[in-house]
Structure 1
Amino acid sequence: MQSMNYPFPGTQNESMGGYKITNLGAPTESGDAVRWDDLIGLNYIIGVEWDTSSDSSALKHIDAYGTEITKTAGQWTAWFDAHPIYANMWRCLLSAAGAHTFGANARGDGLTLDGTAGQVMVRIPKFYIKSEKVGTKIRWWISPVAFTGFEVHPAFKQRGGTERAQLYVGAYCGG
């Protein structure tokens, strides 16, 4: 299949670069070609790679194929702000009854964040994980979509195996 370049998610700015998507695979058993939504979803698979043979603990950012992603600090900020997992992590207030109240943005602007109006939490949308070890390299990926080889992160599984669409964690360290 011919190589194609797709911009980073959430932007049409070509200066942001893009992933080079190749070898997308054969049509499915039903004979359908790869769906456009699945193709776009590949841009949302991100991960890190650790080379255990190195003296450094530095991690590389990688794409769906394990290729290193290199961006400047400003480009990373814009890209993460548009990523479907990270962009949907929002600070909120959670009442004793479990009702949530969101502010004007992910920071929680407009909310009383001192704990007097409710528990100050961060909502995290469900995501899927995958890992592999090849030689001395260990790779971990996350995806908002359950691609082949990915499984829902265990934090989103309740007792009995029921999956939750989101979870809440404390925004601040409790004392």
Structure 2
Amino acid sequence: MIHPTPTRKETFMQMNDAMETRLYLVNRALDAGLQPAEALGQARALWDFVQRPYGADGAIEAVDYRGAIGADGGVVGIALHENGAWRRVDAAGRTLHHERTYFDTHPVWAGIRDVPTHVDVATVEIPCFWVRSERRGDERLWLVSPCARPGYRLHPAFLRPDGTACSVLRVGKYPASEREGRIAGEAGNKPWTGVTIDDARERCAALGQGWRLYSIYDLAAIQLLMLIETGDPDMQGALGRGNADGGGVKPTGETSAVWRGIHDLWGNVWQFIDGLQLAEDGEIVLWSADMPGGDDWVATGARYGPGEKDGYPVDFHDERGSGFDLSPLFLPSEVETDKEAAVIPDRVWGHWSGRATVALSGGSWDHGSRAGVFALSLRNPRSSAGSSIGFRPAFAL
């Protein structure tokens, strides 16, 4: 369909509507008690959120429907006590007693939506957010903000290889399937397996500019949002068992492992994770946290804590340095063989020393309660390929 070109008058009216809406959003943020700089940042984030699904005409109505923005700027987070207990928190570390339905009105979670693409790959779009990780007393906190704030950084999942920021991240709604040698991202298909991680990277890049393989930063962003929303790391218990109890691989989209439209984040088949590898001596090597997604890899100098040991996480790496920051990632620094002594119920398989290895996430169809969105294997070389390993495309917009 050919759409008529707007007249100069119509264009002016559209611009005027947009300006009025932006001013309204700033005033709403100021009325909520934010300082001017934070109010502007909050208004920008809200404008980007509401104008995409609603347009300028419906933006004010949408914001009014979703309620006032609190003086905390919408900051929510999760805290892990040294005794292993998790709790939702606000920016000050106070316990939040929100029901899960609260997140349906939060600018980040409410902005997660299904988006079709011109390459016939169904995706789920996640709005950008800012993150802060720190230790306070006997707790470790991960905080999420829908806008820029002092002490917070844009989550690396929303950075392009050239270091510029993305407004949204799109991840494959389903693991990749195959059609005539190309990726098909639809429900009801057999996951594409039997490829190496380098094959998977090439298949994703072949979709066009901006497409890449699902990365450690994408995974970490989703893990954090899921953890804050559910308040519990046991996603099998909170959301669904998934295909993890035997019987072989199922078609994409036919398991109960679903979060906000993203299917098969655990169980069914393992998924290659780009942007993370371990060197022969166990050193953690990552995509640059400032320019992720290209050929800029950073040797962190940090050794993977559990080494060759398999088990369940009890703590996470939080080292920082030039070009890297492990604190937003849920990369175990210590594991226990006893699940009851752990803080995450998903299993981690350790590094095989003496060879460089890549990362797989989620577990497969026969991993039972060991599978989950935090399940991680760090023992496979780059040449690994098999019927239980698949992959997922992502797109930085």
* Structure 2 residues without counterparts, runs of 5 or longer: 1-31, 43-68, 177-190, 192-397
SS in 2 for 1:50: strand
Are 2:77 and 1:50 aligned? no
Of the three residues 103, 107, 122, the one matched with 1:84 is: 107
1:167 CA displacement = 1.1
Q: How does 1:1-175 map to 2 (within 5 A)?
A: 34-35=35-36, 37=39, 40=70, 42-52=72-82, 54=83, 56=84, 58-71=85-98, 75-77=99-101, 79-96=102-119, 118-174=120-176, 175=191
1:136 CA displacement = 2.7
Between the aligned partners of 1:132 and 1:94, the Cα distance in structure 2 is: 37
Q: Is the 2:148–2:154 contact (alpha carbons within 8 Å) kept by the matching residues of 1?
A: yes
Cα pair distance change 1:126/1:70, threshold 3 Å:
same
Q: Is the 2:73–2:145 contact (alpha carbons within 8 Å) kept by the matching residues of 1?
A: no
Q: Is the 1:43–1:63 contact (alpha carbons within 8 Å) kept by the matching residues of 2?
A: no
Q: Which amino acid aligns with 1:34?
A: Q
Of Structure 1 and Structure 2, the greater helix share is in: 2
Q: Which amino acid aligns with 1:128?
A: W
Q: Match for residue 329 of structure 2? A: none
Between the aligned partners of 1:59 and 1:94, the Cα distance in structure 2 is: 37
Q: What is the Cα-based RMSD across aligned positions, in Å?
A: 2.3
Cα pair distance change 1:95/1:144, threshold 3 Å:
same
Q: Which amino acid aligns with 2:112?
A: M
Higher relative contact order (CA 8 A, sep 6+): 1
SS in 2 for 1:91: strand
Cα pair distance change 1:41/1:88, threshold 3 Å:
farther
Q: Match for residue 101 of structure 1? A: none
1:118-161 per-residue CA deviation (whole Å, 9 max, x = no partner) reads 21110011110001112331000011111110000001111121
1:41 CA displacement = 5.4
1:43 CA displacement = 4.4
1:17-72 per-residue CA deviation (whole Å, 9 max, x = no partner) reads xxxx9xx8xxxxxxxx82383673514100000012x1x4x42000111100113x
Matched length = 117
Between the aligned partners of 2:35 and 2:116, the Cα distance in structure 1 is: 41
SS in 2 for 1:86: helix
Cα pair distance change 1:66/1:82, threshold 3 Å:
same
CA radius of gyration, larger in:
2
Cα pair distance change 1:82/1:43, threshold 3 Å:
same
SS in 2 for 1:94: coil
Q: Is the 1:41–1:145 contact (alpha carbons within 8 Å) kept by the matching residues of 2?
A: no
Q: Is the 1:132–1:140 contact (alpha carbons within 8 Å) kept by the matching residues of 2?
A: yes
Query: Which segments of structure 1 move beyond 4 Å, counting only runs of 4 or more?
Result: none
Q: Using the aligned pairs only, state the percent identity.
A: 28
* Structure 1 residues without counterparts, runs of 5 or longer: 1-20, 25-32, 97-117
Normalising by structure 2, what TM-score? 0.28
1:172 CA displacement = 1.7
Q: Is the 2:124–2:171 contact (alpha carbons within 8 Å) kept by the matching residues of 1?
A: yes
Between the aligned partners of 1:152 and 1:82, the Cα distance in structure 2 is: 21
1:1-28 per-residue CA deviation (whole Å, 9 max, x = no partner) reads xxxxxxxxxxxxxxxxxxxx9xx8xxxx
Normalising by structure 1, what TM-score? 0.60
Between the aligned partners of 2:171 and 2:122, the Cα distance in structure 1 is: 9
